[in-house]
Every structure is written in C-alpha cells, then in structure tokens.
Amino acid sequence: MKAAVLNNVPGQLEIEDIDLGTPGPREVLVRTHTAGVCHSDLHFMEGLYPYPTPCVLGHESAGVVEAVGSSVTYLSPGDHVITCLSAFCGHCENCISGRPSICMNKNTELVRGADDAPRLSRNGEPVSQFLHLSSFAEQLLVHENTVVKIDKEMPLDRAALIGCGVTTGLGAVFRTARVEPGTSVAVIGCGGIGLSAIQGARIAGANKIIAVDMLQSKLDLAKTMGATHTVDASAVDAVAAVRELTGGVHYSFEAVGLKVTSEQAYGMLRSGGQATVIGLVPVGTKIEIEAVTLIDEKILTGSNMGSNQFRTDMPRFVDMYMQGRLNLDDMISQTVKLEQVNEAFEDLKKGNVARSVISFDS
C-alpha cells in the first residue's frame, strides 16, 4: 500500500510502498478514508520529539473496517470508524478509574511483541507504527482498542478531524479543565486544536472566550467558532490584554507548543484559575513560573488528547456535528492527495490553514 514515510529526522515525508501484516486476534484492518494533518506530526518531523525511523506518520483519521481478527466482537467489516491514538488496555489502574487516555499499558499490551512479525514493513524490514496508528497510508492495521464505531450518516472527512484535533480541544475543555458555564476562557493558538477548544468553551457556556494568535486570519476564524474577543499577540502583550479584558481568566488553554505561550497561559489566570497546556512543548524545555503565585491556588497542568474516553466522547461529538452545534465544515481549509502531504505541512507552518485533510477516497 501507498504510505508517507519519515526516513530521516529532521526530514520530509516520502511516498513509498509499505507492506501490511494480517490482523492478529485483537486487530482490525481499516481502509483509510481521510487523514488530518496535525501539528504533532510536524514536531516529530522536525526532531523536537524523538521517534524511531523509518516511520509512517499520521494519527488523525477515519475509515471503513475491512477485516477483523478472530477475537474481535465489537466491530465487523463495513463499520465506519474513527481512530484514536489513545489506545487503552481497559484493566490498568488509570483505565478502570476513568482515565484511559493515560493507560499504563499503552506501549506494552497494545503493540505487537518484539518477536512477532511487525504490523508495518518494507522489503522485509520493520517500519515503525506512529502512535499506534500510522494514518498517512491507504490502510491501517491497528489494535481494536484504537477505534470507535460511528454513525454511517457522518461524513468521514469531518469524522477524521475528531480523531485528534477536535477531541483534544473539546476534551481539554470538557474533561481536563471542566469549564463551567459563565466563566472566562482564553485560548492561545487558533489552529485545529485551539479552534476546537474555542468551540468547546462555547458549547460549555463560557461567557468570555478570548482567542489569542499572531495571525489576523486565525483570529477572524476564531470569531466564527465562538470567540467573543480576540488578541493579536504579534501586536500587543497577550497577558496584559487578557488581564485587561477579564481581570485574569478562570481557564486558559495553550495550543501552540512553546515555552513562552505556556508561561503566558499561566500568567493570564486569576486566583484559583487553571492553565492547561495542550501544545507539545519540545522535549527538554523547562517552563518557569513565579513560585509565590502558587499561593493563589493557580493550577498549571497538561492534557493528553483531551483526557478523552474516546469510545464515549467521539460518538457524542459526531452527534454535536449532526445537530449543528459543532462546526467541522469550516475547520477543513483544504483537501489534498497523499502526494501533497509535504505541501500541506508547509501550509501548516505558515499558518495558512485551520486543518488540511488528506483524502484517500478516489
């Protein structure tokens, strides 16, 4: 099958022919319909996060089940599914206490063993599977606990966005921070993740939703997604501007992946507020806060894929889209072919797009 492979870091993706195994007892073969282009892939291509190469990237997708392993009862061929990198075992302490997105057995039980044939290979040599998925490929061979079945009425290109960006942004608001109606929210970075957090804040009933970005085009889009105010961080001090609008927000979300914006997210809180860093800040980076401010009971935390319970959350997000309460149509800026994947990453770097999606539906 055709797949986009990262061979060198830093590096671009190369379209190659990759071999796929057959489903093991608890595995599923999925025909990829659409894969979203998320900034996390770019961080790995740039070497800000290490990963073994060669590797087929991509982790935000939806498709149709083609075959299931002998022990799979949850799914059948023909089912429409969204994939999620939050593979869960279902029996570790975190899974059974309602936090499957930080499953403790993610990288042991849900991958093939060292002595097993790899899921992905090239000329007989193993190829790494990216975050349990590898969506930049015509097919996915995955553990059954990385997919959720969805309504066949749901358009699969919109559904793909729910696979990472939408679930991360909405989940950070609903599950990680538990934003309450009437509160104030600031979201720094208005790409696929930040725009989803803004929509989450709107759906959760926040009163003030302040979008912060360096690009006017992103701020304009943020307004259509529910932002009540915008701050152009290329022109003004974002922390001072947000504090002036609110006296300090109840909740802030960082959706960029930088030290400076993480510190800003904390700096714009009111006493008792919570800053949630969603962005992947480069490995080795230290975030600094003034220790004395902790006396104000401010919270600084991260969010792993929106603290999702994706088998529950994703079908709910599908319903929100069907009801017209979640705008996914305007989140897709362009649809490209797999061969254009590097151009799509260039557009992401320049900030030209909310989300690009790769269509495999020919």
Ligand X SMILES: NC(=O)c1ccc[n+]([C@@H]2O[C@H](COP(=O)([O-])OP(=O)(O)OC[C@H]3O[C@@H](n4cnc5c(N)ncnc54)[C@H](O)[C@@H]3O)[C@@H](O)[C@H]2O)c1
Rounded Cα gap, residues 55 and 48, in angstroms:
15
Looking at the Cβ atoms of 65 and 174, the one nearer to ligand X is: 174
Interacting positions 126-185 with Zn ion (CB under 5 A): 164
233 makes contact with ligand X (CB under 6 A): yes
37 makes contact with Zn ion (CB under 5 A): no
Q: Which of 61, 128, 146, 261 binds ligand X (CB under 6 A)?
A: 261
Cβ atoms of 69 and 28 within 8 Å: the answer is yes
Q: Which of 100, 191, 248, 273 binds ligand X (CB under 6 A)?
A: 191
DSSP state of 137: B
The answer to whether the peptide bond before residue 77 is cis (omega within 30 degrees of 0) is: no
Q: Which of 4, 6, 30, 38 binds ligand X (CB under 6 A)?
A: 38
Rounded Cα gap, residues 146 and 27, in angstroms:
9
- Which range in 128-136, 162-170, 318-326, 337-345 contacts ligand X by CB under 6 A? 162-170
DSSP 90-106: SSSHHHHTT-GGG-TTT
Kind plus residue range of the DSSP H or E element containing 198:
helix 192-204
Instruction: Give min distance, CB of 125 to Zn ion, in A.
Output: 27
Which of 26, 6, 319 is CA-nearest to residue 146? 26
Q: Which does 39 bind (CB under 5 to 8 A by kind): Zn ion, ligand X, none?
A: ligand X
Q: Which does 20 bind (CB under 5 to 8 A by kind): ligand X, Zn ion, none?
A: none
Kind plus residue range of the DSSP H or E element containing 194:
helix 192-204
**Would you call 271 helix, strand, or coil by DSSP?**
strand
Q: How many residues bind ligand X (CB under 6 A)?
A: 33
Cβ atoms of 328 and 166 within 8 Å: the answer is yes
For ligand X, what does the binding mask look like between residues 113 and 152, x meaning CB under 6 A?
----------------------------------------
Q: What residue number has its CB nearest to ligand X?
A: 191
DSSP 303-321: -SGGG--HHHHHHHHHHHH
Q: Which of 194, 200, 226, 273 binds ligand X (CB under 6 A)?
A: 194
Q: Which does 326 bind (CB under 5 to 8 A by kind): ligand X, Zn ion, none?
A: none
Rounded Cα gap, residues 192 and 306, in angstroms:
13
92 makes contact with Zn ion (CB under 5 A): yes
Q: Which residues bind Zn ion (CB under 5 A)?
A: 38, 40, 89, 92, 95, 103, 105, 164
